[in-house]
Chain A
């Protein structure tokens, strides 16, 4: 064959290959052509908007945390809520007609949220935070109702409460309500900004922060005059710090950014959430918009600061040299790697201990528990891969744990007081190995 014939053949062959490739390419399925969309077509219809709003507000109220069993179907209830008065079993709030709230009307739902009275007229136990939810507006309440009516109904019968006498007598709640319940939607304070008012509405209402951050007395009530002054959380054995004391979790000296991070991200350059507050961030606060988170931060920062007790005297802060030495040694071995020799941490991932209010506050419970049990902050949208602290319960005996907690409470100009081994012992049994 001449070179010319070869060339022609080669060109013909190439043409066939190209044609085949084009043919195959044309046979390939393609993505559907993009339709011209107008803003009107993409915006959700009004009914959808109400449902989305209701879902958001239900998150703000953290309904799912109590009304869902671990790994259970959302809102189907059944979770035991231990109280000092016995176990309560949280009801099914899915829209099942028979076992849930399917037959409730919006009016009945609002009356329950606003006054703590059930559909059939029974008085609710105040484990349901109606003393906070009473502040929720009718419009917001209706959105939450619409959302709950839209979720998957689950047929699951409510379990009766197991309260001890006399707490199983609901008539007693009349007295409780007279003492501790004030009905009424949130009334905006005209002297404050719209942002502050939005924050107050969320914190006092759906956020029901006072359920933990205001001390609960022997009757299970919390006094408004002590609002946000902190207290032990019954049956959880964590201390909910005061939000009104700069010596505890008072936020008066914090930047708005740090407060927002703590609430929404779970870690900040000043502190990290663990324990019950980690649950709140995980289930609720991480879903709040930046705007609402900032409003809450503005309100919390502006809470009046009133330290209920004077700072500890230098006498109360005396630590024996042996305890200090044990604490220093444990710290150098186990803690300094992450929290630094000077307690400055590596924020936001390893929190600072120097100048950290949650460590120096009067109650040492949380610090002791962190040393014994360690902890992971919640994995959130803005911090999906948090850094964790290991447990030391099996590494340190009570005296060593007390010494290292004492050390971090008094070192680096921290203003805390020493801790004894006897304070460690009872906390050790909370998470049995």
Chain B
């Protein structure tokens, strides 16, 4: 405890921490040397010690996302099919088996959620975001997010990520990358079809609404056989 206070005090004195405790989870730390926890120290300054994501905005929560999804992302970063230079560099020379182990490790973690986004936002925009997320827009063929990402937005095994706990800048950046073709998933790429039907305003609206949702009591992804998906998705096949 004294240690933790010391770290926070140092962080505060250097002008980093905006809210005490939140930042110290992105300072390296582990309990046993021969453990996955120690091996994934390479992830902690962005994704937090337990994969909870950094409070600062962009770096996503990875804890509890389906292992298949996490592995697909790690392999895509390694092979350059998903581009984010800091990640491409970090995992460039890691073998499949180890990436799978990392994915399984984070998929099992259930750290508490950081405080959700509560900054004031345009009411009409949030309403539009809610419609897209929960009902979709059948006129233009947009299925609701919850149809695949789960009624609690916790994702679906094996390949669909949870959206709860992500920040608006991250969600909108990913949707935009899909739109411009720099992010894609296994064919048939269902997200590409969906994003091609979203306007820029829709992207902002749905990102803002998603980032404001309370985490559910059980953040586990849904099992894959509970629902029939509205679109064929390569990462679920």
- With A and B bound together, what is the CA distance between A330 and B14 in angstroms? 9
Nearest-CB residue, chain B, relative to A369: B89
Of the candidate stretches A8-16, A115-123, A374-382, the one touching chain B is A374-382
Q: Determine whether the beta carbon of B86 is less than 8 Å from that of A391.
A: yes
Given contact pairs A278-B92, A329-B10, A390-B45, A379 touches B98 in the complex (Cβ within 8 A): yes
B93 contacts A378, CB within 8 Å?
A: yes
Q: Is A318 an interface residue (CB 8 A)?
A: no
Within 8 A of B (CB), among A71-118: 71
A379 close to B11 (CB less than 8 A) = no
Shortest Cβ distance from residue A235 to the other chain B in the assembled complex, whole angstroms: 15
* Interface mask (B55-98 → A, CB under 8 Å = 1, otherwise 0): 01010000000000000000000011100111001111111011
User: At the interface, yes or no: A316 with Cβ under 8 Å from chain B?
Assistant: no
Please, which residues of chain B bring their CB within 8 A of the CB of A375? 42, 89-90
CA distance A433 to B45 in the complex (A): 14
How many B residues have CB within 8 A of the partner chain? 38
Chain B's nearest CB lies how many Å from the CB of A339?
10
Q: Given A278, A376, A393, A433, which contacts B42 in the complex, CB threshold below 8 Å?
A: A376
Asked if B185 is at the interface (CB within 8 A of a chain A CB), the reply is no
Contact (A374, B7) CB under 8 Å given A338-B28, A388-B40, A431-B85: no
Band of interface residues on A:
35 or more
Contacting pair A333 B11 (CB below 8 A): yes
Contacts of B26 in A (CB 8 A): 395
Q: Which residue of B lies closest to A377 (CB)?
A: B93
Asked if A332 is an interface residue, CB under 8 A from chain B, the answer is yes
Q: For B90, give its contact among A376, A384, A432 (CB under 8 Å).
A: A376
Kindly count the residue-residue contacts between A and B in the assembled complex, taking CB atoms under 8 Å apart: 104
| Residues of B1-32 whose CB lies within 8 A of A | 7, 10-11, 14, 16, 26-30
Judged by DSSP, the binding face of B is helix
Chain A residue at minimum C-beta to C-beta distance from B13: A329
Contact A391 B95 (CB under 8 A): no
> Cβ of B101 < 8 Å from any Cβ of A?
yes
Q: Which residues of B contact A338 (CB under 8 A)?
A: 28, 41
| A412 CB within 8 Å of chain B | no
Give bound CA distance, A335 to B7, whole Å: 12
Contacts of A180 in B (CB 8 A): none
Chain A hits for B58, CB < 8 A: 433
Q: A432 → chain B, closest Cβ, in Å? A: 6
Q: B33 interface residue, CB < 8 Å from A?
A: yes
Residues from chain A with a CB closer than 8 A to the CB of B98 are 379, 384-386
Given known A278-B93, A390-B46, contact A71–B39 (CB-CB < 8 A): no
Contacts of B89 in A (CB 8 A): 373, 375, 431
What are 23 sample pairs from A and B whose C-beta atoms fall under 8 A apart?
Answer: A70-B79, A70-B80, A282-B93, A333-B10, A337-B28, A337-B29, A338-B28, A373-B86, A374-B42, A374-B45, A376-B42, A379-B94, A386-B39, A387-B38, A387-B42, A389-B41, A391-B45, A391-B46, A395-B45, A430-B85, A431-B86, A433-B58, A433-B86
A-side residues, CB < 8 A to B, are 70-71, 278-279, 281-282, 329-330, 332-335, 337-338, 346, 349, 373-379, 384-395, 400, 430-433
